Chains A and B, each alone.
Chain A
Amino acid sequence: MRKVIMGNHSLSYGALLSRVQVISAYPITPQTQVVELLSEMCASGELKAKFINVESEHSAMAALIGASAAGARTFSATSAHGLTLMHELLHWAAGARLPIVLGNINRAMAPGWTIWADQTDSLSQRDTGWIQFYCSSNQEVLDTIIQAFKISEKVLLPSMIVLDAFFLSHTYEPVDIPDQVVVDEYLPPYKPKYVLDTKDPHTFGGITSPEYYYEIRYKMEMGMRESVEVIKQAGKEYGELFGREYGLIEDYRCEDAEIIFITSGTAASTAKVVVDELREEGKKVGNLKIRVFRPFPFKELRRIIEHAKKVAVIDRNISFGHHGIFAQEVKSALYNHSNIPVFGFVAGLGGRDINPQTIKEIYHITESNEYPSEKVFWIGVKK
């Protein structure tokens, strides 16, 4: 069934089709619409889930940790300050190896008080042990939720599905809503191996001495590494059933490209349009979208940009005193493998538009300089 829906509702439909059993949420704009629709689905009986209203995002995640440990399939959504309030529990959810799935609508952090798109909120959660997907369309949002449950339940790590505020969250797009029967085939009910059970009592997350903590972290990292193949497999199987295949990255006209944009989120869609336009002018250019940020797609990225002459990384975020965060990660992936110049661009913070002109300006800076003359280029600063 094809429907025209907003990004927020793509998250809701993804959760519905995944047959989530517990939803816990505190309303923060714009995720409000995600749980608004889910609460209606729960009220009407369309979705048989327990909907828990809580008093903060910290509690929202805490409630899901409890529910997930008891064996339920769990979902929540949040944004910006809500996500950062969850920070402590994000560590806990991943450390407890709970396959919770969370939608995060990328919004900038205050001050200045803002509700517009920026990736700094979710990228600040980089080291919590969550798998992170950055989506570029409402269809991808919905499809990724369903895949995320499959992936998370296999590797026992939680997943965060990230989408840009307004550019996706409130933008209506035609979305194919998959058939529940086929989704059920793809995503069977969650059967946890380790579960809170009064008949087989165990201490979960109890005091852990240096004797064992270290190995527990090692196992988390192994889970994250394993997830690389699991994500690929889940994306491939999804493609076979629903006709839309997904991977860790998405490369667009990169084969013979000399300059490759590295993008994420909605900027990736705009970059594809710019690639087409520049190709018409005879420029050899391509776009590589990073869909999965954690685990970072080292090999996949290297393979695509191997033959390029330069890459231009577009970051809608900034790590103060360093680079944009994607640029840092790309550089770390290339170190010891390639000397290709990496141009780092910061653009679109706090919802400033990243339009085709922005990306063309980025192209021209990259094309006309042999090496990046600045550590980070800030595009569009009023001067």
Chain B
Amino acid sequence: MQKDKKKMRESELIIIEKESDMPPMAMSLGYMTYNKTGSWRNIKPIINYDICIDCMICWKFCPDACVLIENGRPLIDYDFCKGCGICAEECPKDCIEMVEEGK
């Protein structure tokens, strides 16, 4: 609960209208709930859950910590996934396909 409040405060902080309301340095201006860096991606990983064995190797290898575990299954957080393809490379079942964005 405490943590949630903190999170909210941080994310509110970065909606700043005036220069004078900003801290002098880049402090909590880049809070990641706001900076959805997944928008930089041009290819995206898609898991074929029929083949996936829930080994979580993709979770372990994702350098951006954006494979989440949802009810024991891997779930890619596309808000932050950069499309690097490491998960697809490491998956022992070869069940992650990298698909061009917009297709």
With A215-B19, A218-B19 in contact, do A203 and B31 touch (Cβ < 8 Å)? yes
Q: Are A215 and B22 in contact (CB under 8 A)?
A: yes
Complex interface: stretch among A134-142, A204-212, A249-257, A258-266: A204-212
Is A316 positioned at the interface, with any CB of B under 8 Å from its CB?
Answer: no
Is B26 positioned at the interface, with any CB of A under 8 Å from its CB?
Answer: yes
Is A202 positioned at the interface, with any CB of B under 8 Å from its CB?
Answer: yes
A274-318 residues with Cβ-Cβ distance < 8 A to B are: none
Taken together as a complex, chains A and B put the C-alpha atoms of A96 and B16 apart, in Å, by 19
A71-123 residues with Cβ-Cβ distance < 8 A to B are: 95-97
Chain A: interface secondary structure? loop
Taken together as a complex, chains A and B put the C-alpha atoms of A219 and B32 apart, in Å, by 23
**Binary A-proximity of B25-38 (CB < 8 A = 1, otherwise 0):** 11111111001010
Q: Are B19 and A95 in contact (CB under 8 A)?
A: no
4 additional A-B pairs beyond A203-B30, A212-B14, beta carbons within 8 Å, are A201-B6, A206-B31, A207-B37, A220-B24
Q: Are A212 and B25 in contact (CB under 8 A)?
A: no
How many chain A residues touch the partner (CB < 8 A)?
Answer: 22
5 closest A-B pairs by beta carbon, nearest first, are: A206-B30, A207-B30, A97-B25, A202-B28, A208-B26
Which residues on B sit within 8 Å (CB–CB) of A218?
Answer: 19
Which residues on B sit within 8 Å (CB–CB) of A205?
Answer: 25-27
Which residues on B sit within 8 Å (CB–CB) of A219?
Answer: 19, 22, 24
Taken together as a complex, chains A and B put the C-alpha atoms of A209 and B30 apart, in Å, by 7
Is B72 positioned at the interface, with any CB of A under 8 Å from its CB?
Answer: no
With A207-B35, A209-B35, A218-B19 in contact, do A194 and B26 touch (Cβ < 8 Å)? no
Report which residue of B19, B24, B30, B37 has the largest number of chain A beta carbons within 10 angstroms of its beta carbon.
B24
Taken together as a complex, chains A and B put the C-alpha atoms of A279 and B10 apart, in Å, by 65
With A209-B35, A212-B16 in contact, do A203 and B27 touch (Cβ < 8 Å)? yes
Taken together as a complex, chains A and B put the C-alpha atoms of A252 and B28 apart, in Å, by 48
Is B23 positioned at the interface, with any CB of A under 8 Å from its CB?
Answer: yes
B62 CB, nearest partner CB in chain A, Å = 18
B12 CB, nearest partner CB in chain A, Å = 13
